[in-house]
Amino acid sequence: MGSSGRFHFNEKGTRFRIFADSRALGFAPETVYVDAAPGTIRPGPADDAIDVIDAIAKPSYYSDATGKLRRRPRFPYPPAGRRATPPVEPRRGHFDHLRPPSWEFSAAMTYAVIRTTLSVWRHFFQLDTMAWHFTATAGPVLQVHPRVQCANGWSGNGFLEFGFPYFPNRRYRFCENLEVVAHETGHLIMKAVVGTMPDDEKSLQYRAHEEAAADLIALVTTLHFDSVIAHVLADTAGFLFGDNLLSRFGEWGRGPTALPRRSFNDATLASARALDPLTKHALSSPFTGAVYDVLVGIFVGHLVRRGLLDERVAARCRHTPGVPVPDLRADFRRAHRGQADDFAEALRTARDELGWLLAGAWRRTTTDGLTYGKVLANLLAADAELGAGHGALLAQAFAARGIAA
């Protein structure tokens, strides 16, 4: 491909501990390096662009019931506002001494995941910095609230906030779900790169695309953790057209638009438009599903080229919405046996190629009349520029969803 370089964590950076995925699946806290010299991240954690504030008994800025901003409370959270826990202090310049279930761990993990998501995508966008889109109206610092009184995660002008999936039950925390934090950060990334506009000027497809993009940003970010790749391949042996860690996003809160999110799905524009009511989340599914099918196609292609999978099996590993995929689990198990490291590298390569394709497309995308067809055209242009050779795969996957350039 025309792009070069793979994202690597800066092991001279500041250490944090995070869950790369759900502890219910057996994931344990692991070390992640934030790209900042030890001692440069302030208590909070905080820096010049992000401030984590564990506010006490704070209602969310958005309403779960309406999805709209409440009249109260109003952003920003005051500097002297009440806190449930003091700003989290580093130890010898690092934050990896913190342990769950403390809220200090949750606050630090939220910060680390935001920074990691930004670092991964700055790499793909080839940007040294990424300015917040809200700086002129809300100031230069993103306020992050790891716990608020709601059943969702929210991204807004100047803030991210995270509630509890079964609120008022507070057993589970959205801020400890890497996909949720990366998704909400993804909204900010899209607004920084593509731009934004007044809410009343945004079409439903515009909103749906941003939801899909945020899901895909989270998916690619998650795939930068070897523990996730190892879990996925141990579970699937590389047969990714089914229910697995990558194909499901789970329940994202409650309210009028909440629904299970699946990156592997059978949604088409026609099937989504037949829904009543048609929401941005439902309309995002055809785009997300097409890109997931592309990821799997790229991955399977690399398995074949590396001599890891028989071409006849690969030829049957195709997904068309509404048509059952052949059950190839046994074939993949045989191919995967003794080749776990090579399968993992093929998935990393597919992840990288997808990241470059998406970033190349979104760099070309503007708010002006944004449609799925225009974004597909930009994906095809990015593929041609990169010399990736995935144009036919892209066109086919999107055509199956009713999307044409």
> What is the C-alpha separation between 302 and 362, in angstroms, rounded?
25
pLDDT at 249: 74
Q: Are residues 125 and 179 in the same domain?
A: yes
Q: Identify the pLDDT of residue 253.
A: 43
**DSSP-derived secondary structure letter, 77:** P
Longest dimension (CA), the chain: 65
Cβ contacts of 179 within 8 Å, gap of 6 or more: 21, 218, 219, 222, 249, 250
Rounded average pLDDT over 349-378: 98
**pLDDT for res 1:** 46
pLDDT, residue 103, reads 98
Residue among 340, 187, 334, 347 at smallest CA distance from 252 = 187
Same domain, 131 and 174: yes
Asked which of 193, 228, 261 is the last residue of a domain, the reply is 193
Omega before 100 within 30 of 0, i.e. cis: no
* Most confident range, picked from 163-177, 257-271, 358-372: 358-372
Can you give the pLDDT at residue 4?
Answer: 58
* Dihedral sign (CA 107, 109, 114, 116): positive
pLDDT of amino acid 254: 46
Burial of 352 (C-beta count, 10 Å sphere; 0-12/13-18/19+) = buried
267 and 380 together in one domain: yes
Cα 318–323–329 angle (5° rounding)? 50
Task: For 15-45, write each residue's pLDDT tens digit.
Answer: 999 999 988 888 999 999 999 999 999 999 9
**pLDDT the model gives residue 311:** 98
Residue 258 in this model has a pLDDT that exceeds 50 = no
Query: For position 79, what pLDDT does the model report?
Result: 86
pLDDT at 5: 81
Residues 189, 210 share a domain:
no
Would you call 346 exposed, middle or buried from its count of C-beta atoms within 10 A (0-12, 13-18, 19+)? buried
Count how many domains the chain has. 2
> In this predicted model, what pLDDT tens digit does every residue of 287-309 receive, in sequence order?
999 999 999 999 999 999 999 99
Q: Could you tell me the sign of the dihedral formed by the alpha carbons of 211, 216, 222, 224, in that order?
A: negative
End-to-end CA distance of the chain: 22
Q: What is the pLDDT of residue 2?
A: 45
Q: What percent of the chain has pLDDT over 90?
A: 92
* Band (259; pLDDT cuts 50, 70, 90): very low
* 273: Cβ contacts below 8 Å, ≥ 6 apart: 283
**pLDDT digits 0-9 by tens, 117-143:** 999 999 999 999 999 999 999 999 999
How far is it, in rounded angstroms, from Cα 179 to Cα 360? 22
Given pLDDT bands bounded at 50, 70 and 90, which one contains residue 260?
Answer: low
Question: Are residue 311 and residue 340 in the same domain, yes or no?
Answer: yes
Q: What is the pLDDT of residue 256?
A: 41
The percent of residues above 70 in pLDDT, for the chain, comes to 96
In whole angstroms, what is the distance from residue 309 CA to residue 306 CA?
8
Distance CA 56, CA 219 (A): 31
* Predicted pLDDT of residue 273: 98
pLDDT per residue as tens digits for the range 207-232? 999 999 999 999 999 999 999 999 99
Domain containing residue 95: CATH number: 3.10.170
To which H or E segment does residue 229 belong?
A: helix 226-236
> Which residues span the domain enclosing 246?
204-399
The answer on 184 and 39 residing in a single domain is: yes
How many H-runs (helices) and E-runs (strands) does the chain carry? 12, 8
106: tokens are: 């949750």
From CA 18, how far away is CA 210, in angstroms rounded?
26
Last residue of a domain, one of 151, 169, 193: 193
Establish if 329 belongs to a structural domain. Answer: yes
- Strands 50-52 and 30-34 turn out to be unpaired
202 vs 256 pLDDT, higher one: 202
Structure tokens at 352: 């990288």
What pLDDT, on a 0 to 100 scale, did the predictor assign at position 277? 93
Q: Rounded to whole angstroms, how far apart are CA atoms 289 and 315?
A: 19
Q: Tell me the average pLDDT across 377-403.
A: 98
